């Protein structure tokens, strides 16, 4: 072979694993028939001993990308993961599929640690999770020298970048991994990386001609919905009533509002618990555990919540206040529906929240930080105010072009927002602003339009204005809303200072002259038929589903693991739809591999059989 050196010939990718072996393991160990997008390419690259860098959204199925090769390759796969709580979850989940997995971190006693190290030294582990700081310990590095390491995984790789939102100095030491493990693939995974962060990660980790994958950030099972925030308590209660027994997170900005909302929901009989950094550690842990174990349905939390949890069956995420940035919004909503089942992301948005956030931003001392926060806020506001498909806007933010005009899975595309022409009403407001020489704030302008008889109106003689009382047949609230809308559409603006006055922007004059229209979005609170359909995809027996859920909970409690590790919501739904009668039937349920069949198959099959006997009509097989 002229022109090719010996090294190049042996470096030729060799397919070590046949399709039968690959798909066989997928089915046997994980219980899945197909790969999610990009999983197969990543796995094949790893099996060809290539370094890999993969950006995949939350719920994209990153774990499988390395757990499957970890099973197939001889030796131990080292996973570096930043969070203790996640390690345990990942290990529980791998073990539930029969994979030999363990973790090493400070939560283990010295005795437990030495047991794990023994397993490692005897090469009996497929997977070992460890925190990054361990790699700075010489004796740990030496020990790794004595074992057969099959590959290295850096989970949450964005933690190495100062540009990301989760920088961890510990992660910087990971740049020596490629020298420490010259002969095995080093792979890095993250769910959040703008192109800038991506480049930074690649530079810092020094991966060797890595196979790079940027999966689509489109979370197709998430429904994005932004609603007008009117009466937050009432809206939350309605939302929870519409989602009985479903797990969800409600994000709020302040600790105080978290407490208030949680207390309010508890008083209404919902299983809701608070979570924020002001609670003591025990309480935080207790509340988080209750949520993970399906004992509380709803967690009301500040953004301190979510990083350390892997709960896959979260069915809704509600932002009751403005998120800090689009990245935050994407990450926080991303915690819904990791299992791939439909989930809702609802933001309650009101222009009147903006001053509060501005106030906090103004207290940031560092100027660059302050500017960054302000720009981020403005992007969130324009995201919430736009009439373009939410999905398209979000993907656009991450530099991805959504190939369609409509996604049909957001409030904009489904047209659940009703647009009404408010040009005449806008003219009334603008006229009031003009006639008072752009010197008054929103409250006073509304008072003029509704014909208020308060002292300030008389003091200024504003009861003699032509616009005084022209809008008295509409509510104060309507006028406030319209002012918000005019601000959002940049028809008018608000001056800085203690008493901000409304003033004209360029667009105001054309509106007054009837040359431009003003439309306002009215949000219908009623469910549309279409939206209902999204929530109820697939036909399955709901009563049976609830029974299966109860059994899952019981088995999970017996073993001290979260319910979603026993079976995912998807698996239970499949069972309630397919009504498996035999172990073979059971294997065709998504997420049921051989180990899970052996562990839980009988109990679930018994329950299904009993249910079918008791409900012959409902469960007749076609
Ligand atoms: P990530 O770490 O990317 O957020 P996970 O690895 O936790 O995602 O996977 C999310 C969910 O998707 C898990 O419940 C997992 O079992 C499921 N999953 C992963 N791969 C597949 C697949 N090929 N088919 C069906 N479900 C899958
Ligand atoms: Zn859309």
Give 304-315 pLDDT, tens digit per residue: 787 667 899 999
Strands of 406-496 (E only): list them.
417-421, 492-494
Residue identified by tokens 């005019």 is 486
Domain ranges of the chain: 6-214, 222-397, 419-521, 542-614
Beta pairing, strands 298-301 & 272-275: parallel
pTM: 0.72
pLDDT of residue 6: 39
Residue nearest to atom 23 of ligand 1 (CA): 35
pLDDT of residue 133: 86
Nearest ligand for residue 225 CA = 2
> How many other CB atoms are there within 10 angstroms of residue 114's CB atom?
11
pLDDT in tens, 139-168: 888 888 899 999 999 999 999 988 766 788
Radius of gyration of the chain (CA): 28
Does the Cβ of 335 fall within 6 Å of ligand 1? Answer: no
Q: How far apart are CA 64 and CA 56, in angstroms?
A: 12
**Measured distance between the N- and C-terminal CA atoms of the chain, rounded to whole angstroms:** 61
User: CA angle, corner 352, sides to 351 and 356, nearest 5?
Assistant: 115
Nearest ligand for residue 391 CA = 2
Rounded-to-10 torsion of CA 391, 394, 399, 401: 20
3-class DSSP string for 193-210: CCHHHHHHHHHHHCCCCC
Does the Cβ of 79 fall within 6 Å of ligand 1? Answer: no
Q: How far apart are CA 236 and CA 544, in angstroms?
A: 28
| Sign of the CA dihedral running 200, 204, 209, 211 | negative
- 222-397 has which fold? Rossmann fold (3.40.50)
Q: How far apart are CA 101 and CA 95, in angstroms?
A: 6
**What is the atom index within ligand 1 of the atom nearest the CA of 57?**
3
pLDDT of residue 621: 60
- Let me know: does 494 contact 388? Beta carbons within 8 Å: no
* The pair of three-digit structure tokens given for residue 443, joined into one six-digit string: 């409250």
Regions of the chain short of the pLDDT cut 50: 1-14, 523-537
Does the Cβ of 61 fall within 6 Å of ligand 1? Answer: yes
Residue nearest to atom 13 of ligand 1 (CA): 339
pLDDT of residue 58: 83
- Let me know: does 288 contact 305? Beta carbons within 8 Å: yes
For 6-214, the fitting CATH number among 3.10.129.10, 1.20.1510.10, 3.40.50.300, 1.10.3720.10 is: 3.40.50.300
Residue identified by tokens 């047991």 is 115
| Residue 336 CA to ligand 2 centre (angstroms) | 17
Does the Cβ of 339 fall within 6 Å of ligand 1? Answer: yes
User: CA angle, corner 520, sides to 517 and 524, nearest 5?
Assistant: 150
* Phi/psi-derived region of residue 209, left when phi > 0, alpha when psi is between -120 and 50, beta in every other case: left
Q: How far apart are CA 136 and CA 130, in angstroms?
A: 12
Q: What does each C-alpha distance from 43 to 30, 39, 93, 175, 310 come to in angstroms? A: 14, 6, 19, 23, 22
pLDDT of residue 372: 87
Q: How far apart are CA 175 and CA 203, in angstroms?
A: 9
Does the Cβ of 570 fall within 6 Å of ligand 1? Answer: no
* The pair of three-digit structure tokens given for residue 392, joined into one six-digit string: 């398209």
The residues pairing with 102 across neighbouring beta strands, listed in sequence order, are: 128
Does the Cβ of 589 fall within 6 Å of ligand 1? Answer: no
- 419-521 has which fold? Arc Repressor Mutant, subunit A (1.10.10)
| Residue 522 CA to ligand 1 centre (angstroms) | 38
| Domains 6-214 and 419-521 fall in the same CATH topology | no
- 542-614 has which fold? DNA polymerase; domain 1 (1.10.150)
Residue nearest to atom 18 of ligand 1 (CA): 61
**What is the atom index within ligand 1 of the atom nearest the CA of 310?**
7
pLDDT of residue 535: 38
pLDDT of residue 11: 42
Q: Which residues surround ligand 2, an ion (CB under 5 A)?
A: 389, 391, 407, 410, 413
Beta pairing, strands 101-104 & 127-130: parallel
> How many other CB atoms are there within 10 angstroms of residue 532's CB atom?
10
């Amino acid at each position: 072979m002229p022109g090719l050196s010996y090294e190049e010939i042996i470096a030729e990718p060799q397919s070590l694993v046949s399709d039968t072996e690959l798909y066989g393991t997928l089915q046997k160990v994980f219980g899945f028939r197909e790969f999610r997008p990009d999983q197969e390419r990543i796995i094949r690259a790893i099996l060809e001993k290539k370094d890999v860098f993969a950006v995949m959204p939350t719920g994209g199925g990153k774990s499988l990308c390395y757990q499957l090769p970890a099973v197939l390759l001889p030796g131990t796969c080292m996973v570096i993961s930043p969070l203790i709580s996640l390690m345990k979850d990942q290990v529980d989940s791998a073990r539930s599929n029969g994979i030999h997995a363990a973790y090493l971190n400070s939560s283990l006693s010295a005795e437990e640690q030495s047991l794990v190290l023994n397993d490692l030294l005897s090469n009996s582990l497929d997977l070992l999770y460890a925190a990054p700081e361990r790699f700075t310990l010489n004796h740990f590095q030496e020990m790794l020298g004595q074992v057969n390491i099959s590959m290295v995984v850096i989970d949450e790789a964005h933690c190495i970048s100062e540009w990301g939102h989760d920088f961890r100095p510990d992660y910087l030491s990971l740049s020596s991994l490629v020298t420490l493990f010259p002969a095995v693939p080093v792979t890095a995974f993250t769910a959040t990386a703008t192109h800038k962060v991506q480049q930074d990660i690649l530079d810092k980790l020094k991966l060797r001609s890595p196979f790079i994958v940027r999966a689509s950030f489109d979370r197709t099972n998430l429904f994005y919905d932004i609603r007008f925030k009117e009466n937050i308590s009432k809206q939350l209660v309605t939302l929870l009533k519409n989602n009985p027994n479903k797990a969800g997170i409600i994000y709020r900005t302040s600790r105080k509002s978290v407490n208030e909302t949680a207390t309010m929901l508890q008083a209404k009989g919902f299983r809701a618990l608070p979570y924020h950094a002001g609670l003591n550690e025990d309480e935080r842990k207790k509340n988080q555990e209750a949520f993970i174990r399906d004992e509380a349905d709803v967690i009301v939390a500040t953004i301190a919540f979510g990083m350390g949890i892997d709960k896959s069956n979260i069915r809704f995420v509600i932002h009751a206040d403005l998120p800090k940035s689009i990245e935050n919004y994407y990450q926080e909503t991303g915690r819904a529906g990791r299992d791939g089942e439909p989930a809702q992301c609802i933001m309650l948005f009101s222009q009147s929240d903006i001053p509060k956030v501005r106030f906090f931003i103004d207290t940031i001392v560092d100027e660059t930080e302050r500017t960054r926060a302000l720009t981020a806020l403005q992007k969130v506001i324009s995201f919430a105010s736009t009439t373009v498909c939410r999905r398209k806007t979000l993907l656009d933010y991450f530099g991805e072009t959504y190939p369609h005009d409509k996604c049909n899975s957001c409030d904009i595309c489904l047209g659940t927002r009703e647009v009404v022409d408010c040009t005449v009403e806008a003219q009334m407001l603008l006229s009031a602003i003009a006639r008072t020489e752009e010197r008054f704030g929103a409250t006073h302008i509304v008072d003029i339009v509704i014909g208020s008889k308060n002292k300030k109106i008389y003091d200024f003689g504003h009861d003699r204005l032509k616009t005084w009382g022209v809008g008295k047949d509409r509510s104060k609230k309507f006028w406030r809303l319209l002012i918000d809308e005019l601000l959002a559409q940049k028809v008018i603006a608000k001056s800085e200072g203690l008493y901000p006055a409304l003033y004209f922007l360029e667009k105001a004059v054309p509106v007054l002259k009837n040359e431009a229209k003003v439309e306002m979005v009215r949000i219908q609170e009623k469910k549309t038929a279409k939206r209902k359909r999204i929530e109820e995809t697939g036909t399955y027996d709901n009563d049976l589903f609830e029974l299966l859920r109860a059994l899952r909970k019981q088995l999970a409690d017996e073993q001290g693991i979260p319910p979603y590790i026993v079976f995912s919501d998807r698996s239970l739904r499949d069972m309630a739809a397919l009504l498996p009668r035999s172990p073979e039937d059971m294997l065709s349920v998504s997420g049921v591999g051989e180990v899970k069949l052996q562990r839980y198959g009988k109990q679930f099959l018994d329950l299904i059989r009993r249910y079918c006997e008791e409900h012959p009509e409902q469960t007749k097989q076609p």
